[in-house]
Structure 1
């Protein structure tokens, strides 16, 4: 396996960057950015907000499809495409529809500009002119939830109102300006309660922690066996052995655990403030560097079992130092893989490459960065718990929007979001989009789960009597509850650590207290070993 001395700093830096996106949710084309929950529902203004498909035809030929959002007021929009009628589209005169229309319409749809009067006023004038629906074009690229004013009463609007983003309005106006006959069809298909993408994402997250935990525990077990051999043969050399065995591992202490979250918050604000196309490109480059390092480390560790000699033979490379021949053979493939993904990351199947690079990076971080005891794990996860809740929910009051969700979706960047996410396309959702999970939702609980397996192996505990099985089960259940909450909240991003931390950490603390191991877990993080070499060699048999 490659010498990791030169990459500790890089991996640990990435560990801090990865927890920026401890957010689980969905990303849709046409997500509603602005939100007005201050306007209460009232009679005549109590519709649920729904996304609306606006399919167009130009001179009878099917053309573009746009996504809008239905208003709180007006009639509801049909959910099935077969029940939606094709209706002619006309520009309103006046354009803002803040006064009586200059002509009557026979069940046509009016397109009006936002501004100068209330949304309900526009709908009332459109209805009075005989329109069957009104499309209100936003003056921004995002969608906006149309609500009623607090002082509005006696609302009697019987046509649907839909808001479209600015670019959709420009395209529709161009169609109409050519003198063509433009027809539109409005319908709002319902989303499935659960999409199979969420099942696969759950399996990916659990599988990543499972693989990383076994690799971490195996490495710790091998190091302990090697150390015990030297202790038996040459006890005077033990101090030097301890120093060398820990050279490839970064142990987090309580201070760094707190700073971990503070630095991550600073990074998050920085990304939020600098969110733009060029900044996303910079993050893509950084992600590729980390992904190459992670993929290379995983492949070298895997292939070294078959190419042991190549993995143990080194050559001195300028800047990088001693590098194994196996690493040199694997590196070009890893670099090429990351570059191809970066170039073609906008294609429909690019999520596969992003997930491969992301999983490899997370596994590598969990192999190198470790928590030495339960005390550090409790401090780290507790800080991350507060961090997650603050940047998803509380930040709305300070920044008028959820900073975490804005960064995860890549709003204002012209891109689909930053790459530090695992994502899978929603296969059976008529709205498409992706189910996503932030690296932090895997990495941070994964540190605790990996610690539990290392402890179990060193303590010679079976799966049932140990802590790993229960910690793994608690993580899976916590993530499952996150997706339940995600569906109950209609797809709005959820801070996954809000659910995962209590399950995972709570289970560990409760079991440790019940079994009487809490003091050892909290302080040393390693069991007493009277005859460690013999016990470690029999660990696999007991499992």
Structure 2
């Protein structure tokens, strides 16, 4: 296996990432107690803009409690209120503070959340901010045996670092003012529409590219064989060039290797390790980008001669002049992206650089590492790796990402390359089969497989929004749609055995007339 192919496989292995929106993913769930009167609020993210001694400071993000009153959804309706540190800080007894509708800042621990909120309301606080003892958010619920739940002030939890900053300002005798409001997140963002179009469009174009290449290769082969003696022809074993042969063993091995790499990423995730991944991604991106450009430019007659003329290059072998011409641009593009990948519009460059047993294993792979891995690692390994936690980066560069344009919480909508590439293998196969079998769009498999992929990805985003942005394994929804549709149609049409064992229809003679759909 050459270096380029190894890098491509590594990128696919690392890119089986869940779809998620970044604003709500840091919220840790706690559903141990059911909703009941006085403790039935939906968990919402809360914006906490601050002003210190009249100067606007950091805007923090908190999470609202299951209990208490709800917050305003618009900033203009949220009052700017002074923040006061509780005395005692844990607010597990009635505070000594003399309050006049100020917001009370307290520490987590020592007693229940509702006990703190009741004491804060008793001393006339307008709201309570509870500082977590970790740099993360936690969903505050009521204890199972609590009854005093008629709390008429909002309660919000802040991460440890945000609370420490606010506490330091107060201890330095600064005047700290805060606002509390919870903007509504749109059900559908333009970013998700663009990602859906990009994923579906990529598979559509790649499928036609793959089928057209196989068609041209088969025609060329038939021309070479048409004058040969019948005894030397074995059309049963003739297959198109460039088709990837994935058997059962390689499919299982792929998922095992992918799992090993995922655990390695989870354990070794750091700034230097991500830098290594960026280098590998850039190398693969250079090769992939130049392949696409050469293929597109070769369609124009002005570049055909350069694409068909070759020069021998040490180590790389025979390379066309057209490839040599576009390589400097591809290298420069990748280097520029690597240098400026942390700026706001770097996602544009990142997006540009980018059968059956395999899909079934990947389906289980996605579910296991998003959901089941929490039992062993106490957090979702897939989501931690995809977000790039503890690496100093905004996620690994192995996914498509588009900023959420109309979401007040910002962040990105993303999808892993693997969620496009792996189902794309099945969709591309269906188009090649349709062309070889001379099927039209209605009687073939491609339109059904393409539609199933689009619906599966759409359901993924619906589930993502219904579950408050918590990471979802895209293959959990895509695989049943695509694979289920393909196998059901094959069974009903009596072609499942041919699809399963041969992958192409029987060809009675070496000269084949293709009829594109």
**TM-score normalised according to structure 2 size:** 0.93
Report the Cα distance in structure 2 between the residues aligned to 1:332 and 1:238, rounded to whole angstroms: 44
List gaps (5 residues or longer) in structure 1.
Answer: 359-376
DSSP 3-state at the match of 1:251: coil
From 339, 343, 346, give the equivalent of 2:335: 339
Question: Match of 1:97?
Answer: 91
Question: How many angstroms apart in 2 are the aligned matches of 1:10 and 1:31?
Answer: 30
Aligned to 1:146: 140
Q: Could you give the per-residue CA deviations for residues 379-409 of structure 1, whole angstroms, max 9, x where no partner exists?
A: 1111111111222222222322222222222
Name 2:5's counterpart in structure 1. Answer: 8
Of 205, 211, 233, which residue of structure 1 is paired with 2:205? 211
Query: Contact between 2:62 and 2:157, CA under 8 Å: does it hold in 1?
Result: yes
Aligned twin of 2:21: 26
Change (3 A) 1:177 1:237: farther
**Do residues 472 (structure 1) and 450 (structure 2) align?**
yes
- CA RMSD, Structure 1 to Structure 2 (Å): 2.3
Return 486-495 or 525-534, whichever deviates more.
Answer: 525-534
Distance 1:337 1:151, change over 3 A: same
Aligned partner of 1:160 in structure 2 is 154
From the superposition, tell whether residues 62 and 8 of structure 1 become closer, same or farther in structure 2 (CA, over 3 Å). Answer: closer
Residue 229 to residue 5, structure 1, CA distance change in 2 (3 Å): farther
Q: 1:64 aligns with which of 52, 55, 58?
A: 58
State TM-score, norm by structure 1: 0.89
Equivalent residues of 1:45, 1:148 under 8 A apart? yes
For residue 454 of structure 1, what is the aligned residue in structure 2? 432
The structure-2 alpha-carbon separation of the partners of 1:463 and 1:49, relative to structure 1 and needing over 3 Å to count, comes to same
Cα contact 2:50–2:179 (8 A) shared by 1: yes
- Is the counterpart of residue 121 in structure 1 residue 115 in structure 2? yes
Q: CA deviation at 1:328?
A: 1.5
| Deviation of 1:293 (Å) | 1.6
For residue 412 of structure 1, report the CA deviation from its aligned partner: 2.9
Give the Cα separation in 2 of the matches to 1:263 and 1:452.
27
**Structure 1 stretch 202-211 or stretch 483-492: which is displaced more?**
483-492
Change (3 A) 1:157 1:416: same
Aligned to 2:490: 512
User: Which residue among 200, 220, 224 is the counterpart of 1:226?
Assistant: 220
Q: Secondary structure at the match of 1:498?
A: helix
Q: Is the Cα–Cα contact under 8 Å of residues 82 and 176 in structure 2 kept in the other structure? A: yes
The separation in 1 between residues aligned to 2:499 and 2:160, in whole angstroms, is 57
C-alpha distance in structure 1 between counterparts of 2:311 and 2:116, whole Å: 74
- Deviating more after overlay: 152-161 vs 415-424: 152-161
Distance 1:244 1:531, change over 3 A: closer
CA contact (8 A) 2:83 2:103 kept: yes
In structure 1, the residue matched to 2:68 is 74
Q: Is the 8 A contact 2:11 2:398 kept in 1?
A: no
Question: 1:387-402 alignment to 2 at 5 Å?
Answer: 387-402=365-380
| CA distance in 2 between partners of 1:237 and 1:342 (Å) | 53
Deviation string for 1:424-446 (max 9, x for gaps)?
11111111111111112111110
* Pairing partner for 2:264 from 263, 266, 270: 270
Residue 498 (structure 1) aligned to one of 476, 479, 483: 476
> Given that residues 222 and 512 in structure 2 are in contact (C-alpha distance below 8 angstroms), is that contact kept between their aligned partners in structure 1?
no
Distance 2:107 2:333 in 1: 47
- Secondary structure at the counterpart of residue 64 of structure 1: strand
- Residues 156 and 90 (structure 1 numbering): CA distance in 2 closer, same or farther, change over 3 Å? same
Deviation at residue 106 of structure 1 after TM alignment:
0.5
Of 304, 316, 323 in structure 2, the residue corresponding to residue 320 of structure 1 is 316
Which stretch of structure 1 is more off in the superposition, 436-445 or 93-102? 93-102
Q: Does 1:350 align with 2:346?
A: yes
Partner of 1:185: 179
Counterpart of 1:483 in structure 2 is 461
Deviation track 1:63-112 (CA, whole Å, cap 9, x = no partner) reads 32111111122221121222211101122222222333222111001112
CA distance in 2, matches of 1:322, 1:237: 31
Alignment of 1:226-305 (within 5 A): 226-234=220-228, 246=241, 248-305=242-299
- Which residue of the partner structure matches residue 399 of structure 2? 421
**1:365 counterpart residue number:** none
| CA distance in 2 between partners of 1:452 and 1:382 (Å) | 17
Check the 8 A contact 1:16/1:263 in 2, yes or no.
yes
Residues 400 and 416, structure 2, Cα contact 8 Å, conserved in 1: yes
Structure 1 residues 127-154: Cα deviation after superposition (integer angstroms, max 9, x where no partner)? 2222111111222221111222233332
Superposition pairs of residues 350-389 of structure 1, within 5 angstroms: 350-358=346-354, 377-389=355-367
Indicate how the Cα distance of structure 1 residues 33 and 275 shifts in structure 2: closer, same or farther if over 3 A, else same: farther
CA deviation after TM superposition for structure 1 residue 276, in Å:
2.3
**Residue 503 of structure 2: aligned partner:** 525
Contact map agreement 2:84 2:104 (CA 8 A) in 1: yes
Question: Matches of 2:45 and 2:14 in 1, distance apart?
Answer: 33
Q: Any stretches of 5+ residues in structure 2 without a counterpart?
A: none
| Structure 2 match to 1:42 | 36
Report how many residues are paired.
Answer: 513
Aligned with residue 88 of structure 1, among 82, 86, 89: 82
Structure 1 distance, partners of 2:511, 2:433, is 15
The answer on 1:111 being equivalent to 2:105 is: yes
Pick which of 188-197 and 75-84 moved more: 75-84
The answer for the alignment partner of 1:363 in structure 2 is none
Instruction: Quote how far apart the aligned CAs of 1:125 are.
Output: 2.5
CA shift, 1:282, in A, is 2.2
CA contact under 8 A between 1:422 and 1:439: conserved in structure 2?
Answer: yes
Are 1:411 and 2:389 counterparts? yes
